[in-house]
Structure 1
Amino acid sequence: MLKHRIANTAGIVAATLLCWLYGLHLYHSANQPLYRSASQPLYSPPPQPAAHAPPSAPAPAPMRDSSDSILTFIHASDVHISKFVPKGGLVHFLHFMQTSVPLISPRALIVTGDLTDGKDKHRLISQQQPEEWLKYAEVLERHKLRARFNGTFYRDQRGNHDCFNVFSADSKENYFKQYSAARDSSGYLLQIQESFGLYSFVATDGCPAHGFARPLNFFGYLDAPSMQLLEQRMDAAKDSNHTFLLNHYPVSTMLYGRHSRPFKALVERASVFLCGHLHELVGGIGRQLQAYKASEGYWELEIGDMKEHAVYRVFAVDHDLVSFVDVRLPLSTIPLSNPALLDARVEEALPHPPVILVTNPKDARYLLPKHEPLERMRTSSFIRMLVWTDAPVSSITVAIDGHRLPHPAAYRGRERQVVEGRADETVKVPLWVVPWDPAQYDDARVHQLQVTVVDEMGKQSTSLTPFALGRDVSIPLNNDARGGWIMQQDFASMFRISGFISYIIMALCLLVIPRLYYAALPNYASWLSDRAVLHHKQQALTHHLFALLQRDANIFARSKLLLAILAAKARFVVWTQFTAQVHFSSSWLFWPSYLFAMSICVLPLFAGRLIPSAAGSDGIGSVYAYGIYMAGEWSPLLDSWTYALASIVSLAVLLVYLPAAIAPPHMFYSPRALTKRPWYRSVAIRVAMLVFIFVYLGIPVLMTLYTYGWESVVFGYGKAWLFIASSVALYMVDWRLPVSLSSYEVPAAST
């Protein structure tokens, strides 16, 4: 008997360790693309022009009343042109091109992905629609975006919707390479040389090497070849006054590999990281998805979507001080629905309220101490603001701390040609200035600048700018509840660490340790009887403490009794649950649970046709906890960790509930205390368990079946199989074989 127990224990330990070692091997293999040699990249990036040192620009003149030394550009994202959705999307993009772009007339226009929607009619399956891409290309051609400023005006890049169901960058379904402005899926380097400096825009493509169909493909990553390309482009931009890094995915939703330098070392050269992807989330938690990364010294600014919210962001770099303002299209004047879908046309510009962007003094919430010459604000002679209007300005009122400044605003703007001989291609710099004495406000305090503009059509806008000229004065953004917390997170580490910890706790505490304890017991029946006696005594002690608590009126005594009751309850819950786990280890339910726990570690959660558009077996892949394996290579996509966490949590909840459910109630409660079913055996709890399993396992299984085919069920070891097994177990335990209250003999000593 002893040899049998030793062999049983050794077998459990050996099997568990072998599974975990193989799981570590899979984890290492899945992440190998992030760190492998970049000598053979997944794609061949186009040759980059040799980086030449830019001509040394003269030092910018003091900030007086000249409109020189100002660069403007617009950032927009998430257009989602759709052939099926009648609201927003294309209509907003058309109005943006017809109204906003001519109004601002910037030097550059940047769009960071999700150009098309890429879904089917029911918006459940992802499918690249060539009609959507043709419409996008038609808009670019109609507004001459590709040719403007010798091809340096407009830049776009892919988002996750643009690579849905696209096997590779060379696939025919990759319409981006045919209909976009950039054409290159690897990103781009755009450098704008002005008389006052060099400004670089470095775009990275965070889409996976294989564009899986949704609901996968929410997170992005840069593998080693992509990181090598990023290093080359950042090195080419090293002499820039400012470098703007662009990606569709925010940093918090990305997984960055490494070539010779990590991402944190590269991003230190960037002033601002521009992204989209998250739209504005839901419930207001994404209204201000912005964060200052103090260790690297850059601002990460996510822009709301063009699809529903019709928002775009106007940037101005004035004497190397970076300022921006978010602008929304006048949605009240745009019809809510677009019955014409892709045949929609917009011929006239909308009346647009004035757009105000104060560039000096700069908004103190968005300072860049590592990249901006902030001292220029303290030596400036004028308040400087850019005011874009579609009608002549009627009045401009400027006030600081509620006190109107005595000097009127003066117009010092201009329109300049970027390319000689093209009078129709100009950049508007509508600068207005007001004399001021910054020494009056250099007092280490925060001041409020208010600018109100009214045009001749009666349209009015007001801008509020907090500023501080003190050297050590900074204003926190305080936007954690509106998206700042999300932007500061490292979800890659969060998912991995929480996945590993939750899995280890689940496997050890709920399966392996109780099983080893059970195998080591010399007399299981005697131990179970002794545990029941102790549980009944603990329950009686708790009732006794409750009785004392009701009789004692002394506040200190009541506090001590309350703490004693909480401690007794905690001990009772822990020990009864542990006893239930040990009791569970002796039942027929243990081994299926153990096999499912190990399968999460070593087998795919599910497999199926992850890219339906791919020919033959190329589109079939396996989703492991650590990444996705397809076509002989790994994609370390964080989406797989979310699936793994759902399976781990579901199995852990089952492993807590089922042992308690199959244990006879008299094992824990004395006949005197037990007059009805325990709370955990009530109908409400049983229904809640069914709902939990259906939501966490059933719905994902149905989605994978609908999207990835029947293979995802047949080979769904960690999803479909777990859902079926848990449903059968709950039916057998909770509904078909309810536990009788008299099914367990209470030892006489417990009374």
Structure 2
Amino acid sequence: MRLSKSTVLLLVCMIVLSMFLANVANLLSTAQKYEPKYFNEKNKLTMTDKNEHLIWFLQISDIHISVFRDQLRTTEFKEFCEYIVKIFKPPVVLASGDLTDAKTHDGIGSNQIQNEWVEYKNILSSLNISQHTQWLDIRGNHDNFNVLNLESRENYFANFSIQGKANPRSYMYQLEKNGDVYSFIAVDACLQPGPRRPFNFVGMLDDVEITVINNIVKQIESSNSKYTIWFGHFPTSCILSQEPGGIRSLIGKHDHALAYLCGHLHTLGGAIPKMYTLQHAGFLELELGDWKDNRMFRLLAIDHGLLSFIDVKHRNWPVVLITNPKHALYIMPQKENLEVITESTHIRLLIFSLAEIDVVKVQINSEGWIECQHVEGPLYVAPWNPKKYNTGLHIINVYVSDGEGGRKIHSQPFSLDGTRLSFGLLPRLVLMTNASTFFKFMFWCMIIFAVAPLLMMKLIHYRDIKKGKVKKRNGNTGYIRSWFRKIWILSSVDRIFWPLVLYPIYLTVGPWSIGYIVEDRVGAIFAWGIYVDGVFLPGSFTYAYGFIQLLTFQFPVTCILAHAVDCRIRALIQKRKLSYVTKLTLHLPFLMVIILQLIMAYNFWLAYGTLAFIIGPLRTWSIIIAIGLWIMMLSLPEDCTWDAAKVWSYTFKHMEESTLTSCSNAFK
């Protein structure tokens, strides 16, 4: 049986698509098998009702202290430091970046603002935060806007943060409690130099910083540390690295790494409030919602080697964290010994509240409620028999009430046989893929989408005209066929076709803008990176920026011009003027695109200044190109219609005979 070309093409496309989907599914898979043999029996801990092998700590991220907007976030941040830290009494608080907002009054420009840093420092120092906890802060991209290097006068992190003076970039902190050593590794992936927004969205670990981190890991491995928590501002998907496997490889090859804690994405504006996943290397990656708008912070605990956590809304009391049995979704088969749960003697809870706790009860499935006993500090326990729950998923419920009438019912699933729940698709897509690769893919897809149809129509048109294969086509019926005709006709008008094709091609190779990229240093922005102060920053968010430009400018302008040229040719052939309604449908969409482009160009001027605005092929010059093409379309001469009319039949009831004759003679 012979197969047609279309059938073969369809089969090839199906095979390629299936391979692509299989690779994506493998990339996003979080299924991991539990192997008890990997855990040393000598180090296995027995979980009872004792207050031992237990530590808890806090994380806060994306504080964005600002002198221009929302002063309440600063006031409530002071509440966090004054009340929450004293109530939780954590030995460590992780402040994972974007400590200050660093946006100008208009909200578009970006620059380090000293008063914001002074406010941050004054809050921490006035409350003597270092006497209550070890405050581990690190820079975020906002703390790095317009910062040339660590020695720059704009690097206020060095002088106004807790860790900045001793630890300007990545560092480690260790603490010991009752014989257990816990390590915390701060990863600074800020760009150096640090451009202004928006080209400071993705971080990078250069060779120097990777060496520093590897040395930190070696120190931890040579110590008696059992548990390591990594934290930084950027999710691993937003960190460029020349290390094979990237930062995930750095974390994963360290046996005692339990989790990587981050912020930065602000739960994508609330679209993904629980942005968590289990990476292939075996550790949890947990993005924390921002303090800026959502007033979120995180309570974490390591109880007998098991990591548990809960994200908490500010002023939402009481706070309940179940450490045993652990939440079924967050089990780490490669990092945790689950036999600790199956051989435990007590359910264990951490309870915090502003008032004295009155009642703590637990319930498993639909069984009766059991009163919990207070052990010490926030620890409450209740005896249980884990063998009753050996198979499947179960639900544990906790009821808490305090002396001020606060009540909380908290539930979570657990499993003792390795039965797993699945992380959401969106969190896995965001945290397990590579943002730079995704941005690049979208950019090149849009380039192809902008150029390929025009080039294809040009080649087909050339074949039909030059090789004498002219076949009259009727494109007056059908929506798809109508637009097919419009793109074809546009490709036949060289004076409009070539600028539309060459502009997106230029965006792939030429500079988008030249101006003051960082402080007083002139640099150039390309799709594939930024060159400033003798340093090349590989392209990442630049591709996303280019994609947005193509989506909001190139694509609509091409469609508008294709329709306009078609209308213009019809009017020329018919020897008639366009109606006011037709003119409105032509000019209004074009005007809207130009206004949007003017707003974007204005915002770019606010961000990078006059020089970048003037020497700005991406934003400013595109407006000039579009207006020039529009003027050419409006004054398109009749001889530009001949090539189109050779191929496409324009059937009009009132077309003058003289017009048809002149066109026919011209085509001979």
| TM-score, length-scaled by structure 2 | 0.82
Indicate if the aligned counterparts of 1:213 and 1:707 stay in contact, CA closer than 8 A. yes
What is the deviation of 1:140? 2.1
Equivalent residue in structure 2 for 1:663, among 566, 589, 593? 566
Q: 1:181 to 1:165 in 2, by over 3 A?
A: same
What is the deviation of 1:276? 0.9
d(CA) in 1 for partners of 2:225, 2:590: 59
Equivalent residue in structure 2 for 1:314, among 299, 302, 309? 299
Q: Which residue of 2 aligns with 1:68?
A: 52
Q: Which residue of 1 aligns with 2:318?
A: 354
Indicate if the aligned counterparts of 2:263 and 2:287 stay in contact, CA closer than 8 A. yes
Q: 1:591 to 1:443 in 2, by over 3 A?
A: closer
Give the secondary-structure state (helix, strand or coil) at the position aligned to 1:663.
helix
Does residue 181 of the first structure (1) align with residue 162 of the second (2)? yes
Amino acid at match of 1:625: A
Q: Which residue of 2 aligns with 1:16?
A: none
Give the secondary-structure state (helix, strand or coil) at the position aligned to 1:166.
coil
Equivalent residue in structure 1 for 2:149, among 150, 168, 174? 168
CA deviation string 1:623-663 (max 9, x = no partner): 10111111122112422112222333332443344244213
What is the deviation of 1:392? 2.3
Q: 1:573 to 1:437 in 2, by over 3 A?
A: same
What is the deviation of 1:84? 2.0
d(CA) in 2 for partners of 1:668, 1:368: 69
Identity level (%): 26
Give the secondary-structure state (helix, strand or coil) at the position aligned to 1:266.
helix
Q: Which residue of 2 aligns with 1:580?
A: 489
Q: 1:81 to 1:91 in 2, by over 3 A?
A: same
Equivalent residue in structure 2 for 1:449, among 378, 391, 396? 396
Q: Which residue of 1 aligns with 2:287?
A: 302
d(CA) in 2 for partners of 1:666, 1:709: 42
Does residue 252 of the first structure (1) align with residue 237 of the second (2)? yes
Q: 1:237 to 1:577 in 2, by over 3 A?
A: farther
Indicate if the aligned counterparts of 2:454 and 2:497 stay in contact, CA closer than 8 A. no
Q: Which residue of 2 aligns with 1:117?
A: 101
Q: Which residue of 1 aligns with 2:32?
A: none
Q: 1:670 to 1:469 in 2, by over 3 A?
A: farther
Q: Which residue of 2 aligns with 1:411?
A: 374
Indicate if the aligned counterparts of 1:163 and 1:174 stay in contact, CA closer than 8 A. yes
Unaligned stretches of 5+ in structure 2?
1-39, 642-649
Counterparts of 1:569-608 in structure 2, within 5 Å, are: 570=480, 572-573=481-482, 575-577=484-486, 579-584=488-493, 586=494, 588-608=495-515
Counterparts of 1:12-161 in structure 2, within 5 Å, are: 59=43, 61-146=45-130, 153-161=134-142
Does residue 704 of the first structure (1) align with residue 604 of the second (2)? yes
Give the secondary-structure state (helix, strand or coil) at the position aligned to 1:65.
coil
Q: 1:379 to 1:394 in 2, by over 3 A?
A: same
CA deviation string 1:554-573 (max 9, x = no partner): xxxxxxxxxxxxxxx65x35
Indicate if the aligned counterparts of 1:58 and 1:196 stay in contact, CA closer than 8 A. no
d(CA) in 2 for partners of 1:601, 1:677: 40
What is the deviation of 1:682? 6.8
d(CA) in 2 for partners of 1:448, 1:201: 32
Moved more, 317-326 or 127-136: 127-136
Does residue 286 of the first structure (1) align with residue 272 of the second (2)? yes
Q: Which residue of 2 aligns with 1:423?
A: none
Does residue 194 of the first structure (1) align with residue 103 of the second (2)? no
Q: Which residue of 2 aligns with 1:22?
A: none
Q: Which residue of 2 aligns with 1:227?
A: 210
What is the deviation of 1:521? 6.1
Q: 1:390 to 1:652 in 2, by over 3 A?
A: closer
Q: Which residue of 2 aligns with 1:35?
A: none
Equivalent residue in structure 1 for 2:258, among 243, 248, 271? 271
Q: Which residue of 2 aligns with 1:369?
A: 333
Unaligned stretches of 5+ in structure 1?
1-55, 331-351, 414-428, 543-568
Moved more, 625-634 or 640-649: 640-649
What is the deviation of 1:237? 3.0
Indicate if the aligned counterparts of 2:568 and 2:636 stay in contact, CA closer than 8 A. no
Q: 1:522 to 1:485 in 2, by over 3 A?
A: closer
Q: Which residue of 1 aligns with 2:406?
A: 459
Q: Which residue of 2 aligns with 1:334?
A: none
d(CA) in 2 for partners of 1:114, 1:120: 15
Indicate if the aligned counterparts of 1:60 and 1:196 stay in contact, CA closer than 8 A. no
Indicate if the aligned counterparts of 1:63 and 1:382 stay in contact, CA closer than 8 A. yes
Indicate if the aligned counterparts of 1:580 and 1:660 stay in contact, CA closer than 8 A. no
Q: 1:402 to 1:708 in 2, by over 3 A?
A: same
CA deviation string 1:568-613 (max 9, x = no partner): x65x3575245324412x3x223333442332122111122223xx
Q: 1:243 to 1:725 in 2, by over 3 A?
A: same
What is the deviation of 1:91? 0.8
Q: Which residue of 1 aligns with 2:616?
A: 716
CA deviation string 1:212-250 (max 9, x = no partner): 222331222222222222222233334643322211111
Q: 1:489 to 1:155 in 2, by over 3 A?
A: same
Amino acid at match of 1:235: K
Give the secondary-structure state (helix, strand or coil) at the position aligned to 2:322.
strand
Indicate if the aligned counterparts of 1:288 and 1:484 stay in contact, CA closer than 8 A. no
Q: Which residue of 2 aligns with 1:439?
A: 387
Equivalent residue in structure 2 for 1:384, among 348, 352, 358? 348
Indicate if the aligned counterparts of 2:317 and 2:406 stay in contact, CA closer than 8 A. yes
d(CA) in 2 for partners of 1:163, 1:173: 9
Amino acid at match of 1:604: P
Amino acid at match of 1:534: R
Indicate if the aligned counterparts of 2:237 and 2:430 stay in contact, CA closer than 8 A. yes
Aligned residues between the structures: 601
What is the deviation of 1:319? 0.3
Does residue 402 of the first structure (1) align with residue 303 of the second (2)? no
What is the deviation of 1:490? 2.0
Q: 1:142 to 1:724 in 2, by over 3 A?
A: same
Give the secondary-structure state (helix, strand or coil) at the position aligned to 1:287.
coil
Moved more, 155-164 or 392-401: 392-401
Indicate if the aligned counterparts of 2:571 and 2:578 stay in contact, CA closer than 8 A. no
| TM-score, length-scaled by structure 1 | 0.73
d(CA) in 1 for partners of 2:554, 2:333: 49
For CA contacts below 8 A with separation 6 or more, give which structure has more relative contact order: 1
Q: Which residue of 1 aligns with 2:536?
A: 634
Indicate if the aligned counterparts of 1:60 and 1:69 stay in contact, CA closer than 8 A. no
Give the secondary-structure state (helix, strand or coil) at the position aligned to 2:297.
strand
Amino acid at match of 2:524: S
d(CA) in 1 for partners of 2:572, 2:341: 75
Q: Compute the RMSD of aligned alpha carbons.
A: 3.4
Equivalent residue in structure 2 for 1:474, among 420, 430, 444? 420
Q: 1:574 to 1:659 in 2, by over 3 A?
A: closer
d(CA) in 2 for partners of 1:678, 1:246: 62
Give the secondary-structure state (helix, strand or coil) at the position aligned to 1:449.
strand
Indicate if the aligned counterparts of 1:72 and 1:315 stay in contact, CA closer than 8 A. yes
Indicate if the aligned counterparts of 1:666 and 1:745 stay in contact, CA closer than 8 A. no
